[in-house]
Structure 1
Amino acid sequence: RKKFKGFKYYDKRFLNKSFDPGNKYSIPYFWGTLGIVYNDKFVKRSEVESWDQLWSSKFRDKILLVDSARDDFAFSLISMGKSVNDKRPADVQAAKAKLDALMPNVKAILDDEIVMYMVQEEAPIGITWSGEASEMIAENKHLHYVIPKEGSNIWFDNLAIPETAKHFKAIYKFLNFMSEPKNAAQNAEYVEYSTPNKGAIKILPKSVTGDQQFYPSNKTLKNLHVYSDLGQKWTQIYNDLFLEFKMTSR
């Protein structure tokens, strides 16, 4: 850790998370959220500011979901006022039942092709990650991203040193280089993901860092939750229930 000089550049709001207390093993590279993308030609922002609004009958056959058990269960659980890391059988079953009730509004459940579908206006609403949302928005000016008011997940792409690593001099040189604000800023502009590097944020244009779709307020950040490792048993339960949901007849 003494060989890594870059911690001073990182925003403390993105350090010391539950998956790595004290950042003993990792440093944040990029971060983002789970939220709602909508097309302003068909949907008003006021219609998608809450997860619960997704269940409206006016959205029948109009929503694309990302193919992710954890994320789709997350917004269902949050809409019920529950934790994204819930392990109570009754809560998880209730979240599954609520997802089942959403199925009439679901047009498709997709992987990365959700970006293309939203850009081409195959659907007016998509549930996805902010990183993919930024790609969509860059290709279609009518698309916008919302983090619902009840809260959501905050995710991190991290840099870590593998246990089998050998070339530590080069590794630390790389990590220190990537943490330099000017390099982190250039990287963030290229990748178009949110940077946790506070030095880079000072360099990036206000048009980027002032965009609350991808750099939300402190109030919103406090309402975002990191996923915990559910363990093998509960991961399997979530996955099995999600498979049942995907097989639900419409």
Structure 2
Amino acid sequence: MAGVEQDVLPLSVLDPLLSRYAQWLSLSGEATADTSDEDPDDVVLMPMVLRIERREPPARTALLEAAAAAALAVCLDERCATEGEWHEAMHGWISGRIRKVTRRARGAHWEAVQSLPGITVEVGGAEVRALLPMRVADMPKELSRLQISGSELEPDSPGPVPAGVPVLWLNPDVPMSAGKSAAQVGHATMILAAQLHGEGADEDLERWAAEGYRCAVRQASPTTWNDLHPGDDPETAWRKNRVAAVRDAGFTEVDPGTVTVLAQWPSS
């Protein structure tokens, strides 16, 4: 894995996420926030750019693993610390609605986004750049010209989960495009890190950072999904199985309130 070198982890940036996690998980679809009066130009989101070359597209699983690592790497970059140049943008985003948008790029368009504030992560030849959150209206042309659709990739067979790495289990009953899945696993690593920080496991987070936030993305079997799903008791799920869940707001592809990913920290 390449693209993540961090000596300082501004872990406090995750505090707003931790304080709202249990509330989010308890929401039903009907309880999802009403955004009907929201100005689309004022929406703040984290853009994630997936490198998908026409002739040599990446493996789907490797791309998702790169996306998961890149999203967290931006959040915990030293520039997001209290006095850092990225702090205001990152803190404001995490304190509000956590939204991401994925776009695909190739060739010169991929090279162009490398100059924008963010971090690129490579896993198994697949590359994703997660960018500093920004208002939709403030997106530079290097981003706004990129396509959101067309990010689908063929399913692959990634093999067994490597020992000692977090696993991001995708919901077996909810088909998602590669772009949607990339955003969801990015949410998952953020929630997982917030849970670890909340219980004081900062040494685990430091080791994870040293490993480039390596993780495994896998499609869960129905049995695995049912066994790990926290239901209405996220505290027990974390304490017993080291599992955190991503519940989607339902803006794209899935119904509001759908649990899309279960993030499982490896047992010690």
What's the TM-score once normalised by structure 2's chain length? Answer: 0.26
Larger radius of gyration: 1
**Higher helix proportion, which one?**
1
Flag the structure with more relative contact order, 1 or 2, with Cα contacts below 8 A and sequence separation at least 6: 1
